[in-house]
Structure 1
Amino acid sequence: MSTIFDLKIQVQPEHIDVLGHVNNVVYVQWMQDVAAAHIETLGLGLAQYLEFKHAMVAVEHHVQYRKAALESDDVILRTWLDDINALYSFRQYAFYRPKDQSVLFIANTKWACIEIATGRPKRMSPSFTQAYQPISNNLNPMDFSVSYEQISSV
C-alpha cells in the first residue's frame, strides 16, 4: 500500500506570470514533479519503467484552481493514489500554503499503463499493481496538520 507524499517547494520568480501569480501551467508541471518524486519512493521510477518496458502516462487531468500562489510562498505539493485497475491508476493532488492554511489547488489524474515501444495500452505488471495501491481509508489526505514530507525542495 502506498502512502501520502509531500514535496515542499518555494515559489520562484520564473513561476510567476504577467498577472503576478503562479502561472496555471506551472501547477500542471508541479503535478508531474510530485508524482515523479512519489513513484521514485515507491521503487518504480524511470529506470524501472525502462527495465520493465512499460510506463504510466497521463491520459486525463481534472484541475481546480482555488487561490493564487505568489512569489516566495512556501507550498506543500501533496499527492496520493486513490484507485487502481489492470490498466489505470488514479492519483489525487492538493497543493497547500501553510502560512494562511489555504488549499490553493486540487486535481486528479488518470494514468494509463502503456508498452513503451508501441505506446499501446498494456496491463500493469505485478510490480506496478503492488506499488500503486491506494492509500488506506484511515488516512485523511486533506489534513495538513500531518506531514508526509520525504524529500526537500525541488
Structure 2
Amino acid sequence: MAKQKKWNEMSTVFDMKITVQPEHIDVLGHVNNVVYVGWMQDVATAHISETGLGLEQYLEMNHAMVAVEHHVQYRKAAMLGDEIILRTWFYDINALYSFRQYAFFKAEDKSLLFTATTKWACVEISTGRAKRMSPTFMQAYQPLNSDIDPFQL
C-alpha cells in the first residue's frame, strides 16, 4: 500500500520580500496598479508551493485553483528601490472556493501599501469545469488561525 503524502497545513501567514524594479514603475513615478495584481499571483503561487502542492501536483491531480474575483485597495504608493513584504493567508474555504487575503508592506517603516482579497475556484484542468475541492486541497488551504493578526509585522 502506497504511503499518502500529508500536505503541510496552511494556518499561518506567508511572507515574500521583493524590491521594486524599474519595470514596476509607471509614468507617475510609482508602482503601477497592474503590478500589484501580478505580485498577488506571485506570492499566492509561492505560498502553495511551500506546502508541496504546486503546479506539478495540480497537473497530476487534474485540478487547480483559478481566480474568479479580486477586491483591491491601494493605500500608499511604492517607489523604485523600496523593499516590499508581500504577505498572504487563507481566511475561508468551502467545497468549491478558497478565499485568500493579501497585505503588502513597505519593509523600511512597516507602512501598509496595499490590501486585497481573492476568491479562488477549483476547476478540472482537462475540461475547465468547476469541481469540488479534493481532500488534498481542503487540507492544504486551511484558514489562518484566529489568534494571529496578519496586519502586524
TM-score normalised to structure 1 length: 0.92
Return the alpha-carbon distance in structure 2 between the equivalents of residues 18 and 12 of structure 1: 14
1:85-105 CA-partner distances (Å, limit 9, x unpaired)? 000000000000022221000
Tell me the residue number matched to 1:48.
57
**Residues of 2 paired with 1:24 and 1:85: CA distance?**
30
Higher relative contact order (CA closer than 8 Å, sequence separation 6+): 1
Q: Where does residue 139 of structure 1 map in the other structure?
A: 148
- For residues 17-36 of structure 1, the aligned pairs below 5 Å read 17-36=26-45
Count of residue pairs the alignment pairs up? 144
1:4-83 → structure 2 map (5 Å cutoff): 4-83=13-92
1:43-88 Cα offsets, whole Å, 9 max, x none, are: 2100010000000000000000000000000000000000000000
Task: Supply the distance in 1 between the matched residues of 2:50 and 2:139 (Cα, whole angstroms).
Answer: 13
CA RMSD of aligned residues (A): 0.6
Matching residue within 128, 134, 146 for 1:125: 134
SS in 2 for 1:139: coil
d(CA) in 2 for partners of 1:101, 1:138: 21
The aligned residue for residue 91 of structure 1 is: 100
Q: Would you identify which runs of 4 or more consecutive aligned residues in structure 1 move more than 4 Å?
A: none
| Identity across matched positions, percent | 71
Decide which structure has the larger Cα Rg and report it.
2
TM-score with structure 2 length normalisation? 0.93
Structure 2 residue runs of 5 or longer lacking an equivalent are 1-8
Deviation at 1:135, TM superposition (A): 1.1
State the Cα deviation string for residues 3-33 of structure 1 (Å, max 9, x = none). Answer: 2100000000000000000000000000000
Which runs of no fewer than 5 residues in structure 1 stay unpaired?
A: 145-154
CA–CA distance in 2 between the matches of 1:65 and 1:127? 34
